[in-house]
Structure 1
Amino acid sequence: MRRTLVLISASLLTLAACTTPNKGTPAPAGTTQSQAPPASSTDGVPKVTNPIDTARFKQAPCDTLTRAQIAELLGSEATSTPDLNAQSGPTCRWNVPEVSQASVSVTYIKANTAGLTAIYAKRNTTFPFFQPMESINGYPTVAYGLVDERSDGRCAIALGTSDQEVIDVAIAQSEKNIGKSDPCAAAHNVVSKVLDNLRKVN
């Protein structure tokens, strides 16, 4: 079976208050809407000049990635599990049952109405791991987390689809692939696929 990335969802990070996570499990502590942070804490937040309408995908989050894309990332035996009522927001998780650490998840964050501003406001505090990534066709991305789990093959990236909304893409590599490549680079590759699919219907 081909597994180009072989990926497990890292702690699913909401942009509201968060609890201390257990590795590999969701860790939202609440879904209250983000308040506007002080300007000094959000310097350098990239703007989204061409917002994307994600309403369709919020109703069917597993349509965010195609079967062919998932097969490329995880193998043809990967299965999908949608959760429209997830605390963080509509979510889809893809995994390979016989590979404990292999999965990809995409979440349309509902707890945050401030977009990437909410993440930038919590850099070095709630999110000690904070690493701006290269934008994709003008859409900003940032890798972030309650802890830096790259050494465990995990990474989560927020994609700004507007100045008010973000999509969280979390991946983890299989045990045998940990250390062979940067998991945040792998996650960025998945984000690129997600963005391409979103733009095709906008």
Structure 2
Amino acid sequence: MRRKILLISAVAIALAACSPPSTDGTPAPTSSGMNPSPSSTVGQLPGPGVPKVDHPIDLAQIKQTPCKALTAAQIDELFGQAMEAKPRDGAAGPACRWTPPSDTRPRVDVVFDSSTKRGLTAVYEAKGKAYKFVEPLPAVDGYPLVAFGVEDERATEGRCLVSIGTSDNEVISLAVEQSKANIGDKDPCDAARQAAIRVLATIRGGN
């Protein structure tokens, strides 16, 4: 069951555990689980060893229409098929999920996450604690990117979670779940990075 709650609970950048998943597969946060501990709310951003975001991006407009973060053409580039976009609004912030009309895989979630107000620092602080897997990826046009998770599920489940820093206190988080045929064959973090590239291009007016 712990693996099943990974996708959305980790995207929320919560530093505490989530409760078991609800019947629709989306975990409900515990009453005290979605806020960082008091010790992590102090100190200068970014934290030690965390890349600084030199050119912050204003996400106010895209947050109003999160499903515009990826175009139909971009989804086709990423997955080679049409996907349905469904807006979601949860504790982490405005989000959108893309899935095939008749299946749950492949899947990508894009979350405009400012839940902790600590950006990528929240991920790095959780390394070896809430997140056993934290791995920096090549930056996207200068914006730092990191893969993370409660466990490393790339090869076993075909899942990867990444966050791209859009300012020192805000991130865009993406969760990719591969089709069953690609599990163990292709790295889902590569797909997550490609999705991050396209989201960033869209937001900055590149598409």
- Shorter chain as denominator, the TM-score bin is 0.7 to 0.9
2:7 maps to which of 2, 11, 14: 11
Please name the residue that 2:165 is paired with: 160
SS in 2 for 1:161: strand
CA distance in 2, matches of 1:53, 1:38: 23
2:132 matched to 1:132?
Answer: no
TM-score, length of structure 2 as denominator length: 0.82
Instruction: Report Cα offsets for 1:17-61 as digits up to 9, x if no partner.
Output: 232666x9444444436743678xx42100000000011111100
2:103 maps to which of 96, 99, 102: 99
2:35 maps to which of 16, 32, 35: 32
Letter in 2 for 1:32: N
**Do the aligned partners of residues 87 and 20 (structure 1) sit closer, same or farther apart at CA in structure 2, a change above 3 Å counting?**
same
Higher RCO (C-alpha 8 Å, min separation 6): 1
**Do the aligned partners of residues 189 and 48 (structure 1) sit closer, same or farther apart at CA in structure 2, a change above 3 Å counting?**
same
Contact conserved, 1:10 with 1:154, CA < 8 A, in 2? Answer: no
Letter in 1 for 2:84: T
TM-score, length of structure 1 as denominator length: 0.84
Deviating more after overlay: 121-130 vs 95-104: 95-104
- Which stretches in structure 1 are left out of the alignment for 5+ residues? 1-8
1:118 CA displacement: 1.0
CA distance in 1, matches of 2:60, 2:170: 11
- Which stretches in structure 2 are left out of the alignment for 5+ residues? none
2:202 matched to 1:190?
Answer: no
2:69 matched to 1:71?
Answer: no
CA distance in 2, matches of 1:20, 1:124: 20
